Amino acid sequence: MTVRIAPSILSADFAALGQAVAAAERGGADLIHIDVMDGHFVPNLTMGPPVVRSLSRIARVPLDVHLMIEEPDRYLEEFVRAGAAMISVHAEVLPHLHRTLQAIKELGAKAGVALNPSTPVGALEEIAGDVDHVLVMSVNPGFGGRTFIPRTESKIQAVRALLDRQGSSAPIEVDGGIDATNAARVVQAGATILVAGNSIFGTGDPERATRELRAAATRKAGV
C-alpha cells in the first residue's frame, strides 16, 4: 500500500504560493491540496479557479481540489479547465450527488465525495461504486490548524469496509489535524492519502515536514 502526502496550501503564505508548492514537492509531496471555501458552506473564504490555474503552471504533481462550497456544480468545469486533477465535493450540499460525480468524471478529473465529521458513513451506501476517492474530514471544515477528532479512526475503518463490501478500491483521503503523531494511526485505519496543512506549512521548513510526515505515516504503520 502506498501512502500519498497531500500538503494543503491553506496554511502557506498566500504571497508565496509558488515557493510553498516547490518546497513541498522537494519534500516528496504526491499531490497539492487546494481548499476552496465560499463563506456559506463554511465560515471562511479562500481561493478560486485563478489560483488553481496559476499553480497548475508551476506544480509538478497533480492538484487535489477540495470544494467546500454550496453549489459546486456551477464551478466544476472552471476548476477542471484551471488544472484540477482531483475534485472532492461535499455530500452534505448535493441532493444529486450521482450526477455531480458523473459530471466531474466527464470533465476528465477524479471525483471524490467528502464527508463532514457528523455525516454518517451510510451517506456513501448508494454511491460507493461511483467514487474515485472518499475524503473523510477529521476536523470540521473551514479552517486549518484544528485538532484531529479521534473518532475519525473508526470512521475511516467503516468507510473502508463499506467500499470493500461494494467491490470498490477507491482510496480514502483524510483531512484535518494530521501530523506526525496521528499519521500512522489513520494509515492503519485505512487512509492512504494524508492531507496536512498546519503540520507542513505552519513549520519553518515545509520540505522537511513533508518528508517527516511520510516517514511517520509509513514507518510506524509498517508499510
Catalytic pick among 35, 64, 132, 179: 35
Question: Binding of ligand DX5 at residue 46 (CB under 6 A)?
Answer: no
Contact status: 195 vs ligand DX5 (CB under 6 A) = yes
Among 11, 100, 152, 168, binds ligand DX5 (CB under 6 A): 11
* Phi, psi of 155, rounded to the nearest 5 degrees: -70, -40
Whether 171 contacts 193, CB under 8 Å = yes
Q: Which is nearer to Zn ion, 25 or 175 (CB)?
A: 175
Cβ contact 209:197 at 8 Å: no
Considering CB distances under 5 to 8 angstroms, the limit depending on partner class, which of Zn ion, ligand DX5, none binds residue 196? ligand DX5
The 10 Å Cβ neighbour count of residue 93 is 18
Question: Which is closer to Zn ion, CB of 66 or CB of 214?
Answer: 66
Residue 197 makes contact with ligand DX5 by CB under 6 A:
yes
Q: Which of 160, 155, 158, 161 is nearest to 176 (CA)?
A: 155
| Kind and range of the H or E run holding 133 | strand 133-137
CB of 165: closest distance to Zn ion in angstroms? 26
Smaller CB separation from ligand DX5, 135 or 163: 135
The answer to whether 187 touches 160, Cβ cutoff 8 Å, is no
Among 59, 175, 212, 214, the residue binding ligand DX5 under the rule CB under 6 A is 175
- Residue 138 — φ and ψ, nearest 5°? -110, 10
> Under the criterion CB under 6 A, does residue 87 sit at the interface with ligand DX5?
no
Residues labelled as active-site residues: 35, 175
